[in-house]
Structure 1
Amino acid sequence: MGAGVLETRLIDIGRERFASDVWGRAALLTRGVSDFSDVFSADAVDELISRRGLRTPFLRVAKGGSTLPESSFTSPAGVGATISDQLDDTELWRKFADGATLVLQALHRTWEPVSSLSTQLSTELGHPVQANAYITPPQNRGFDDHYDVHDVFVLQIEGTKRWIIHEPVHQDPLRSQPWTDRRSAVAEAAQGKAYIDTVLEPGDVLYLPRGWLHAAQAQGKVSIHLTLGVHNWTRHALAEHLVEVALAALCDDPEMRRSLPLGVDGPDAEVDAVRERLAAAVLEADTTSLFHRTRRRQGRPAPLGPVAQLAAIDSLGAGSLVRLRDALEPRLEGSRLSTRVGWLDFPEADLWSVRRLLDGEEHLAADLGVELVERLLRAGVLVPAAQ
């Protein structure tokens, strides 16, 4: 398959070394690894804020370590629209000129080049990826020292920014363990010797595992950086899945549904029996399907144009070229194909063609069966090869 975006655009040490020595373990600074002008830019910032009609929460504004209320930079959309929270570009300009940082959130949903990069990285890592951009005026900082509950790749797009990194005060925090729970420990650690104190320039990339403390300040020009947030799957998350499946199975156990005895003095007398049955249910639990369903829900398939899709169906013939829609997370189990757009059952005669489609290559409709291709086009599983 060749090198992916991790190796070609974000690091320069090779995937295997990154996986064994860096991933989830240490911060990594990579200088001049890529030109990101094709991914994001100052022009993209201006277009998104002033011309795309974005609403909250696609943008937040921060100044002096605090997030400003949404009502201070939104306004009604005007005649013909009953939308009261669209971005007000004039108010945003005033706040930006006054030193506020603009945070464009969920760019993997609103800017195609960022969406493409995020999707590719998510596929390579096996963990969901989202993207935010931080636009900071000269000599300003948006947030105080803090840590994130997900890993990040920081891509410096334009300008420069000084980053001060400290080691964790709480290793590998879960999503339920934000930095605000350890505010005093974070503040104390931030006064110590930095693990990294550097200025990022365009093309530089900084990788931070979750829990690593950081603060950043723009230098002499406007700074734009893109953060790719990796929402890590953890052993704790797998444990949650095991317990969920086990508890669902115990619903069918009459002994577990039985009421506790009258007058019982606390549950102590029942705990051993419950623990034994729960442990047995956990051992028997098959979380494969639940894991993949959850993973599919955490991402979105590649964009689908309804007009182009209908045109592809109307013009479908034996010579039509089609391919699997990108980022579907397809999984064929028996005769059922599960994807991010739902599931389909197939007769035995179609399974050979379905398996061929999963290679992601282009295929002639005649080789797969025109009727099968039409069904999959209508389901949003296949798209015309040119799309």
Structure 2
Amino acid sequence: MSISPLELRDVDAQQGGGVLDARLTHRDREEFAQDFWGRAPLLTRGADDFSDVFSAGAVDELISRRGLRTPFLRMAKDGATLPEASFTSSAGVGASITDQVDDTAVWRGFADGATLVLQALHRTWEPVADLVTRLGTELGHPVQANAYVTPPQNRGFDHHYDVHDVFVVQIEGTKRWIIHEPVHPDPLRDQPWTDRRSDVEQAARGEAHLDTVLAPGDVLYLPRGWLHAAQAQGAVSIHLTLGVHTWTRHALAEQLTRSALAALRDDPRMRGSLPLGTEGPADELALVRERLLAALAETDPAPLFHRMRRGQARPAPLGPLAQLQAVAGLAPDTRLRLRDALEARLEGARLHTRVGWLDFPEQDLAAVRCLLDGDVHTAGDLGLERAERLLRAGVLVPAGP
């Protein structure tokens, strides 16, 4: 099977370089891909100083001043998740919100040994969002981020495995990690560890593959399926988990099958009813298999696959007031650039992005292709009418002075 070539330049694939090797692994991309990606854990001591990304101060601000609601915060203790009602309350006068995080209840639970789980930090904390966007661009797989804040000598969860790869980034304090080999290698997203609870418990009693303490600046990469449990040591531990939701061959097979089935809707024989009195499909199976195999051989799953990819993440933030100002003041010398993390792809005369698609006449395609290089362009170079259209669509953004 081959995916037909598309007329595109994926700018996102060109702009992400540096996060994986410089900040997380200290291995070049080829070495990491060959020896560790999806294969084995990798511990990198002193990978970087991540104080620019997250901190104890960030935890306090998010909980006390950002008006978080569930599920942006979870709490867990002794391997179990606490009820949301135990740490949320009404937002008070002027806001009809009943599940806002209650900082006093959070403090009491934390003081009693509960772990705080700040979920989807790529949506609530800008430095984490920037790191996640760059990493996801570089890997070509969707990435999300959680933070785990654990009191001294406490743990949040029992031994388990994740259905996504993770980079564990220790921010503050220390935490002991115990890693065991998989009981179910490369689990799919609908194959959680709870389906194999007894196997996980038995494996956790055996000899560990890795037993280590992470200190601030250390990074641990774990492929999906590897068993792990962690416990804070003598001080509060804060770590980020960068979860990589890997695209798999099984996912590609799903897109291929869906594309083939869509094509078979146009086949009159396949739309036909089975004969009356048929006790089983054996008589019809040969025909169905033949037509299905032919459709699989001829169909192109690339458009559906890329559409699914675009739907797995969001583009970079867009300020509506700055955007309106750019439209109102548009001039030939206005500097513009492609919005980050759009997954912009030109397929024929249609530009596909995470914010929708736009069709262009033949005479505009050269300018649109030029945009995909990721450089800054002037509205005059692009054409004022075309530039305004792309600004209004949220595809272009002001590039600044």
User: Do they superpose with TM above 0.5?
Assistant: yes
Partner of 1:257: 271
2:47 corresponds to: 33
Amino acid at match of 1:274: V
Moved over 3 A (4+): none
How far, CA to CA, are the matches of 1:292 and 1:186 in structure 2?
35
The whole-number CA distance in structure 1 between the counterparts of 2:295 and 2:212 is: 51
Write the deviation string for residues 300-322 of structure 1: whole angstroms up to 9, x where unpaired: 00000000111111111111111
1:330 aligns with: 344
How many residues align? The count is 387
Q: Which letter maps to 1:362?
A: V
**Bigger RCO of structures 1 and 2 (CA < 8 A, at least 6 apart):** 2
Residue 70 (structure 2) aligns with: 56
| 2-structure distance, mates of 1:217, 1:259 | 60
CA distance in 2, matches of 1:383, 1:65: 45
Distance in 1 of aligned mates of 2:179 and 2:266: 51
Secondary structure at 2:277's aligned position in 1? coil
Q: 1:59-138, aligned counterparts within 5 Å? A: 59-138=73-152
- How big is each residue's C-alpha offset from its partner over 1:278-298, in whole Å with a ceiling of 9 and x where there is no partner? 111111111111011100000
Tell me the distance in 2 between the aligned counterparts of 1:173 and 1:307.
44
1:6 to 20, 28, 35: 20
Q: Please state whether the residue corresponding to 1:156 is helix, strand or coil.
A: strand
Give, in whole Å, the separation in 1 of the partners of 2:372 and 2:153: 50
Q: Structure 1, residues 144-169: CA drift from partner, whole Å, max 9, x if none?
A: 00000000000000000000001101
SS at match of 1:214: strand
The question of 1:179 aligning with 2:193 is answered yes
Q: Tell me how far 1:255 sits from its aligned partner.
A: 1.4
Q: Do residues 304 (structure 1) and 323 (structure 2) align? A: no
CA RMSD in angstroms comes to 1.1
Q: Which amino acid aligns with 1:188?
A: Q
Query: Where does residue 372 of structure 1 map in the other structure?
Result: 386
Give the Cα separation in 1 of the matches to 2:269 and 2:326.
Answer: 56
Measured in 2, the distance between the counterparts of 1:155 and 1:279 equals 46
Deviation (angstroms), 1:257? 1.5
**d(CA) in 2 for partners of 1:180, 1:6:** 31
Unaligned runs of 5+ in 2: 1-13
Q: CA offset at residue 71 of structure 1?
A: 1.2
SS in 2 for 1:199: strand
Is 1:158 aligned with 2:167? no
Please state how far the C-alpha of 1:13 moved relative to its aligned partner.
2.1
Q: Displacement of 1:268 after TM fit?
A: 2.1
Give the drift of 1:187.
Answer: 0.6
Counterparts of 2:339 and 2:77, CA distance in 1: 41
Task: Supply the distance in 2 between the matched residues of 1:14 and 1:365 (Cα, whole angstroms).
Answer: 38
2:76 alignment partner, SS class:
strand
Q: Name the aligned partner's letter for residue 311 of structure 1.
A: Q
Q: CA deviation at 1:76?
A: 1.1
Give the secondary-structure state (helix, strand or coil) at the position aligned to 1:266: coil
Instruction: Describe the SS at the equivalent of 2:363.
Output: helix
Query: How far apart in 1 are the matches of 2:244 and 2:400?
Result: 30
1:349 paired with 2:355, answer: no
Distance between the aligned counterparts of 1:284 and 1:352, measured in 2? 30
Instruction: Map Cα deviations across residues 165-206 of structure 1 (whole Å, 9 max, x no partner).
Output: 011011100011110111111111111111110000000000
TM-score between both structures, scaled by the size of structure 1: 0.98
Q: How does 1:227-238 map to 2 (within 5 A)?
A: 227-238=241-252
Q: Does the residue aligned with 2:239 lie in a helix, a strand or coil?
A: strand
Equivalents in 2 of 1:85, 1:270: separation in Å? 55
Q: Which runs of 5+ in 1 are unaligned?
A: none
Shift of 1:247: 1.0
**Percent identity at matched positions?**
75
Amino acid at match of 2:49: D
Is 1:169 the equivalent of 2:183?
A: yes
TM-score, normalising length from structure 2? 0.95
**Aligned counterpart, 1:295:** 309
Shift of 1:386: 2.0
| 2:372 paired with 1:358 | yes
SS in structure 2 opposite 1:225? strand
